[in-house]
């Protein structure tokens, strides 16, 4: 992450009494005035964009359980590596995060089965489906998600674009028109490895719409190559090249904060690799930004230009936590209390993963829901691979953007990593 974002997160952590220390899973117990024992919960998760909201959640819980302290640490770029280092050192956080879907199995030995907990009953069925291993529930979610291209409606209209492009040729023409109108067509966020996985899943869906999971498994088994699928070999790389051509002057220095600032200051028309989670921060910069949301124009087929919906991140509860009862009390309160259920929309501004919670009044969420209702959703492909692969994939693509790797070399490296990191 850029230094500026790191400083902001550091201040947020300080304000909320956060800690970056490992080994906080041991119970810090002492008698309080009422004779109860104090407990300290260590929460280590990705998604720093929710640092403020989680800080508010923790402060509210302190009113409910003043004897419980939630020590919260967040990071983004190196999260998978740092988590594994903590696990290897025997310092598993009480609450930690990873991708849902396939990674449920990766961390199964560390995570508690939550099927009998009240939070499991509160969880919506689509969210629960990607948290399960057999009949067991091994995760909970901060939010549901929408993935697609976020854009500024005013800029497109000024450039003479009356509806969002549905094919690649239309997108390329739109970039020319936007640039002619005096705006930057794209901001990329290519300093973040995870941006690439968000983009790539749209092209994976276009490559095999009926069975994205089967396609991923074929790559993991080494049965297929990227060049076998024009949506991957041609269209994906063509899109990356387009974003570089019409995007940030230094794309590998462009991160989440760059993208939010570009859209929020009305200097940039379109944002790559992001979704519903950026709207609140964009509107903090300028509440008048007219936000639009649509799928990726992948190729000449408008039917595969769809938004993607689902819950891609899971929070896990360490099954051998020294403060497991207190951790379960906290997450059950989060998912079932009046404050907890309202927190998703009112504080975090996300798609609620629980039943009976209202939807926040954000354009990306409203437009995402409308797209899904009218056209259906693309497949949430990121859940079929682990973050170890996704991070390697993102780093390979960064080398491609830097000109260090050719397209063919990048494809070969991606195929190799799929087999090495995911194969059994």
Distance of alpha carbon 175 from the chain centroid: 26
Q: Identify the pLDDT of residue 5.
A: 43
The number of helices, as runs of H, and strands, as runs of E, in the chain is 19, 12
Q: If you compute the radius of gyration of the chain from its CA atoms, what whole number of angstroms results?
A: 21
Which of 379, 418, 423, 380 has its CA nearest to residue 396? 418
pLDDT tens, residue by residue, 114-131: 999 999 999 988 889 889
Task: Say which residues have a Cβ less than 8 Å from residue 394's Cβ, sequence separation at least 6.
Answer: 192, 193, 194, 195, 196, 197
Among residues 313, 318, 314, 315, which one has the least CA distance to residue 110?
318
Mean pLDDT, residues 74-103 taken together: 89
Is the pLDDT at 62 greater than 50? The verdict is yes
Quick check: 413 and 396 in contact, CB under 8 A?
A: yes
pLDDT band per the 50, 70, 90 thresholds, residue 15: very low
Using the predicted structure, report yes or no on whether residue 310 has a pLDDT greater than 90: no
* Structural domains in the chain plus CATH codes: 3-143+313-357 (3.40.190.10), 149-306+386-422 (3.40.190.10)
DSSP letter assigned to residue 232:
I
pLDDT at res. 129: 86
Question: In the predicted model, is pLDDT for residue 177 greater than 50?
Answer: yes
Name the residue with higher pLDDT: 17 or 249. 249
Helices (H), 247-404: 256-264, 279-285, 324-336, 338-346, 363-375, 387-401
Phi, psi of 352 (to 5 degrees): -65, 135
pLDDT at 11 > cutoff 80: no
**Cβ proximity of 38 and 30 under 8 Å:** yes
- Cβ proximity of 303 and 374 under 8 Å: no
> What percentage of the chain reaches a pLDDT higher than 70?
91
pTM: 0.80
Which has more pLDDT, 202 or 351?
202
**pLDDT at residue 17 is higher than 60:** no
In the predicted structure, residue 154 carries a pLDDT above the cut 90 = yes
Model confidence at 76, pLDDT cuts 50, 70, 90, reads low
Q: What is the mean pLDDT of the chain?
A: 90
Residue range 134-152, pLDDT digits in tens = 999 999 998 888 999 999 9
- Read off the pLDDT band of 245 (50, 70, 90): very high
In whole angstroms, what is the distance from residue 71 CA to residue 94 CA? 10
């Amino acid at each position: 992450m850029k230094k500026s974002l790191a400083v902001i997160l550091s201040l947020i952590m300080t304000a909320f009494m956060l800690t970056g220390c490992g080994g906080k899973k041991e119970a810090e117990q002492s008698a309080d005035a009422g004779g109860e024992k104090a407990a300290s919960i260590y929460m280590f998760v990705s998604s720093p964009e929710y640092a403020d909201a989680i800080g508010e959640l923790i402060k509210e819980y302190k009113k409910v359980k003043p004897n419980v302290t939630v020590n919260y640490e967040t990071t983004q770029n190196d999260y998978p590596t740092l988590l594994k280092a903590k696990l290897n050192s025997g310092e598993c956080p009480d609450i930690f995060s990873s991708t849902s879907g396939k990674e449920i199995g990766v961390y199964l030995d560390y995570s508690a089965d939550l099927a009998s907990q009240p939070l499991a009953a509160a969880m919506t069925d689509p969210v629960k489906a990607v948290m399960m291993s057999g009949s067991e529930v091994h995760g909970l979610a901060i939010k549901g998600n929408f993935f697609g291209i976020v854009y500024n409606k005013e800029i497109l209209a000024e450039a003479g674009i009356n509806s969002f492009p549905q094919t690649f040729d239309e997108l390329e023409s739109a970039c020319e028109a936007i640039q002619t109108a005096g705006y930057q067509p794209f901001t990329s966020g290519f300093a973040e490895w995870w941006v690439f996985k968000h983009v790539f899943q749209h092209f994976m869906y276009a490559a095999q719409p009926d069975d994205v999971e089967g396609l991923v498994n074929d790559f993991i088994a080494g049965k297929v190559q990227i060049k076998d699928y024009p949506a991957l070999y041609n269209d994906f790389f063509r899109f990356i090249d387009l974003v570089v051509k019409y995007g940030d002057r230094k794309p590998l220095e462009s991160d989440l904060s760059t993208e939010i600032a570009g859209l929020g200051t009305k200097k940039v028309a379109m944002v790559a690799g992001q979704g519903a989670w950026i709207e609140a921060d964009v509107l903090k910069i300028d509440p008048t930004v007219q936000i639009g949301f649509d799928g990726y124009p992948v190729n000449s087929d408008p039917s595969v230009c769809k938004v993607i919906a689902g819950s891609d991140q899971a929070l896990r509860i360490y099954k051998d936590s020294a403060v497991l009862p207190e951790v379960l009390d906290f997450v059950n309160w989060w998912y079932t209390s009046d404050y907890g259920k309202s927190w998703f929309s009112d504080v975090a501004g996300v798609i609620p993963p629980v039943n009976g919670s209202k939807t926040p009044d954000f354009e990306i969420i409203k437009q995402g829901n409308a797209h899904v209702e009218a056209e259906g959703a693309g497949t949430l492909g990121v859940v079929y691979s682990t973050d170890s692969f996704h991070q390697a994939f993102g780093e390979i693509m960064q080398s491609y953007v830097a000109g260090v790797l050719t397209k063919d070399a990048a494809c070969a490296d991606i195929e190799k990593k799929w087999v090495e990191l995911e194969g059994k």
